[in-house]
A and B are shown apart, each in its own frame.
Chain A
């Protein structure tokens, strides 16, 4: 794997290189070079299979991180390329000319995070929810618990039981086992 990273670093600027296993390596690359690097890996180095494209919301740094995970069937190894884009104005180039299936991932990311991929086919259609008019729901500043309480008529008095504790109290009511359980029973 080292030779691919060296070839890539000679062309583009790579940060945060992590050799996780001997067939899995992650690297961070800038937004302008991302599609070039992915094309280079697909056409010249044999990483022809796109495993997935996912997104992480780093709200403290004000960035979204896109991950392109490529796999080479001949070498049976993976390369993950991370791309950081701005959180206030999230736009990224589309990769649908490289792999046809990427339009699904891009449609899902647009619905859940709000990142736009101009040019991707069927990008504006719904993916998971219909009739969604609030902010994109996978962002970390969207409080899903509060939204559910507000919209969906919650029934109060929720109680949760730890199954092991509950069964112990039911089956063996008079036998505390550890000091903590003795304390809890009081």
Chain B
């Protein structure tokens, strides 16, 4: 192809991709989530943004631990009773039901599964994380009360694993949410999961499992990373 043809082709491609991008930005917000004007009960017309959180729009704050003997005692209590959220994000969540069976009993370690993020303080990210699931994981993670711990299972959370060249799974988990313990394997066996829990308990008792505070400190950086890959962001910035 001559140079003139090449230039025309690239400029065509650029124009097409720009048109696509403009169309895409407009279509990523659903019609019910757009900012619009509604009629209030008293007759006036007000502007309403359904995604903005009118109850409280603050960023998360860093909660310093109390320190001293009291904090050591409370950390011991937190370590002996870890409630894990029952949200299986990927293929590794098949290694969690064996933990309830008699062979790898996890109840004697104090670990229980809870159904709601409001009552749990640990979250197991099991395996690969696609962009779709990452949006839900962020929403769930921000709803958990502090102090909260994340266990990352499998090699997909460390460097992408066997899906490192996929168009829709992430490569590094700790760019988006802070991770306490990585458990390597593809998939790790239940004994490895129990070893991970023991390691997490050690970290909590030493007072080193304060990643929720790190999330609050570097909130803007994490949020920028998350918004870079989640292009249809239709929730508030901080989903408390």
Contact = CB atoms under 8 A, between A and B. Distances in A.
| Chains A, B in direct contact (C-beta < 8 Å) | yes
Of the candidates B21, B166, B169, the one having the most CB atoms from chain A within 10 angstroms of its own CB is B166
A154 B164 contact: yes
A75 interface: no
A151 B229 contact: yes
Contacts of B171: 148, 152-155
Contacts of A129: 130-132, 167-168
A158 B165 CA distance: 12
A133 interface: yes
A6 to B, nearest CB: 45
A147 interface: yes
B14 interface: no
Contacts of B159: 154-155, 158
Contacts of B28: 131
A130 to B, nearest CB: 5
Nearest to B176: A153
B172 A155 contact: yes
A46 to B, nearest CB: 40
Contacts of B228: 151
B77 interface: no
B63 interface: no
A105 interface: no
A137 B135 CA distance: 20
A131 B233 CA distance: 9
B117 to A, nearest CB: 21
Given A144-B165, A153-B175, A155-B172, A130 B131 contact: yes
Contacts of A152: 160, 169-172, 229
A167 B114 CA distance: 40
B152 to A, nearest CB: 13
Interface of A: 128-133, 137, 142, 144-145, 147-149, 151-155, 158
Given A133-B25, A142-B167, 19 more contacts: A129-B131, A129-B132, A129-B168, A130-B131, A133-B20, A133-B21, A137-B167, A137-B168, A144-B167, A148-B167, A152-B160, A152-B229, A153-B171, A153-B172, A154-B159, A154-B160, A154-B164, A154-B172, A155-B159
